[in-house]
Amino acid sequence: MTTSERIFVQAIRAYGARHGIEVDVHSGGWLIAMRRGETRRFAFGYDIGLNSAIAHRLANDKSATAEALSLRGVASIPHHLFLNPKLGRNVVGPNWRDAMLALFHDHPQGVVVKPNEGTSGRSVFRVTTEAELDHAVGEVFAMSTGLVISPYVAIGDEVRVVLLDDAPLVVYSKQRGTDWRHNLDAGAKPVLLEDGEIRTACAKLAIAAANAIGIRFASIDVVRVDGDWRVLEINSGVMMEALAKLHPELVQATYDAALDRVFGTNS
């Protein structure tokens, strides 16, 4: 093991060492093969292998997640999908630009443009003018087949809930720095929440969101807007690199619990 390995990989190695599981790391740490006797499992990226294919795909698609949550009446931030015009007129349609401008003008406080798939706040733009919109759309379409546009809202608080089969194993707030975003990669700091009203409300909403798409192990971001909690997004890959710097035992225990489900083990 090298110290440059992601915490996710280190956690799987540690679990394997304690439970007699062979762990082979490939593709620079992004593909992990696990074997105990005749039982073989894989982890990929930050996905430990518990979620169904459809739940994984829904969670990785911001627009689809928002639609699924709306169907179940789960409060969430809207994400409107626009496909890359490079896919062709028959796929995208002729009026995508007009629809995009209409949505932009419906929100005079601004909108947020970001890839439909992806994490860590990369290529996320706050847009308040048509020129900024053109720039953001060009940047996102240069690296993505689809983007989503959400109304810009003043987020009072953002909380991440890591769920395993409806149990909130980790709940922490993201304390942002100078950036308007709450992404950990943008400098936000994770602060564990103690038992109380906020933790309970966030966990309840996260469980409702997980049930809406049928996901078992996920990190769910919820935000408080005008005093009400809403789901921002669901992540099927559970990344806790930043949290591990502050609470390594909690992170290891969380991955351990998920791997127990993968291998049918009682730690």
CATH label of the domain that carries residue 108: 3.30.1490.20
Q: What are phi and psi of 208, to 5 degrees?
A: -60, -40
Per-residue pLDDT of the chain (267 residues), as tens digits, is 456 799 999 999 999 999 999 999 999 899 999 999 999 999 999 999 999 999 999 999 999 999 999 999 999 999 999 999 999 888 888 899 999 999 999 999 999 999 999 766 678 999 999 999 999 999 999 999 999 999 999 999 999 999 999 999 999 999 876 675 546 655 689 999 999 999 999 999 999 999 999 999 999 999 999 999 999 999 999 999 999 999 999 999 999 999 999 998 765
CATH number of the domain encompassing residue 236:
3.30.470.20
What letter would DSSP give residue 193?
A: P
How confident is the model at residue 187, as a pLDDT? 66
Domains held by the chain: number: 3
Same domain, yes or no: 73 and 86: no
Same domain, yes or no: 73 and 167: yes
Range of the domain at 203: 53-77+154-249
How confident is the model at residue 227, as a pLDDT? 93
Same domain, yes or no: 183 and 96: no
Torsion of CA 140, 131, 98, 77, to 10 degrees: 60
- Predicted model pTM: 0.90
What CA–CA distance (Å, rounded) separates 170 from 218? Answer: 11
Same domain, yes or no: 32 and 164: no
Torsion of CA 164, 168, 170, 174, to 10 degrees: 120
What CA–CA distance (Å, rounded) separates 214 from 64? Answer: 13
Same domain, yes or no: 168 and 141: no
Same domain, yes or no: 181 and 220: yes
How confident is the model at residue 93, as a pLDDT? 85
Same domain, yes or no: 222 and 166: yes
